[in-house]
Copies of this chain bind each other. A is one copy, B any other.
Amino acid sequence: MLRVAIAGASGYTGFELIRLLSTHPRVVLSTVTSRTSEGQRLDEVYPAFRGHCHLTFHGTDPDRLAEDAELVFTALPHRAAMGLVPELLQRGLKVVDLSADFRFRDAALYEMWYQEHTAPHLLSEAVYGLPELYRDAIRTARLVGNPGCYPTSIILAVAPLLAQDLIVPETILADSKSAVSGAGRGLSLTTHFCEVNDGLKAYKIGGEHRHTPEIEQELSRLAGRPLNVTFTPHLVPMSRGILSTVYAELKAGTPPESVDAAFASFYRNARFVRLCGSKALPSTLQVRGSNYCDLGWKVDIRTGRVIVVSAIDNLTRGASGQAVCNMNLMAGFEEDEGLREAPWQP
């Protein structure tokens, strides 16, 4: 059994990690830490865990983590993560970091959108934790930068089209709609029930959202040249799920069937990608609680564009489920170990 710990476990991604790890057949969750909930029992903070998980939140001490665990999930805010991660690596631990701190290859890009990077020497070895793109590198990594929720949904939607050179990269445009849990458990008028319920809005449009450079880093790599994308996030009155609708111009002369073929080929071994094609478009409901990314698409002959719809659970595939999948790869387990439960319906 692999002993694991979670640093910063009192938010929604922390809860989702605990949920998945507490029934994972090859793992023992030995420690959970939290600054805000230190000293409290886990089941006081989340009564759902009563009788199910008996841990108490500790403060975040690297020595203690090294004693209790072989692999640590850091679910801390960015900046805090890059303070702790080097300490953990130094003590011989493996790390899956859920913040943005180790998602970028280029410290300058990180610093343009976030802040000064305090551990830039680790960026070259950190692996971007999207298994469909980096499965082999993840297997041997010490440090995985777990992808953002929006980037996961968008990169998986267009990777096959860029890989097969079917679209004009500069025309990529992603319109994403997220559930409210993506905004976390911190209090804000934006996530106050009556300000969200029965309403819908866009936010941080026009290149303001910090997931933009992360999306661009991976799509540029796939395209083989630097590119900018238009990315528009929206807030939807539901608890879980992201639906991204991604648009791009097909290269002249591309037959629609080649789009189908590109998806089938790119994802032929992808355990967690389900191809819905044009007939049965995906819904966030059908992936809720699971690590699946469901993809549907259609070529609009009239405008020469391809439209790809991608559905994930933002807390599972968009954060903690993907982190567990990365741990599975790093530990030599089956990729879907502990992630085989069916989606939640209804």
Chain multiplicity (copies): 4
In the assembly, what is the distance between CA of A228 and CA of B188, in Å?
A: 39
Scoring A50, A179, A188, A287 by chain B CB atoms within 10 A of each residue's CB, the highest score goes to A50
Q: Is the CB of A305 within 8 A of B342?
A: no
Check if B173 sits within 8 Å of A247, measured CB to CB.
yes
| Cα of A328 to Cα of B307 in the assembled complex, Å | 41
- Are A192 and B194 in contact, with the CB atoms below 8 A? no
225-271 of chain A: CB within 8 A of chain B: 228-230, 232, 234, 236-241, 243, 245, 247
Contacts A189-B187, A234-B245; is A48 near B200 (CB within 8 Å)? no
A282-306 contacts to B, CB under 8 A, are 282-290, 292, 294, 296, 298-303, 305
In-complex Cβ contact of A302 among B191, B207, B281, B311 (8 A): B207
* Contacts A199-B284, A243-B200; A23 near B341 (Cβ below 8 A): yes
From A12-20, A65-73, A91-99, the one touching the partner chain is A12-20
Determine whether the beta carbon of A342 is less than 8 Å from that of B238: no
Please tell me if the beta carbons of B245 and A232 are within 8 angstroms of each other in the complex.
yes
Q: What does the 1/0 interface line of A176-206 toward B look like (CB < 8 Å)?
A: 0101110001011101111111111111011
Taking Cβ atoms with an 8 Å cutoff, the residues of A that contact B are 12, 15, 18-19, 22-23, 46-53, 170, 173, 175, 177, 179-181, 185, 187-189, 191-203, 205-207, 228-230, 232, 234, 236-241, 243, 245, 247, 274, 276, 278, 280-290, 292, 294, 296, 298-303, 305, 307, 309, 311, 340-346
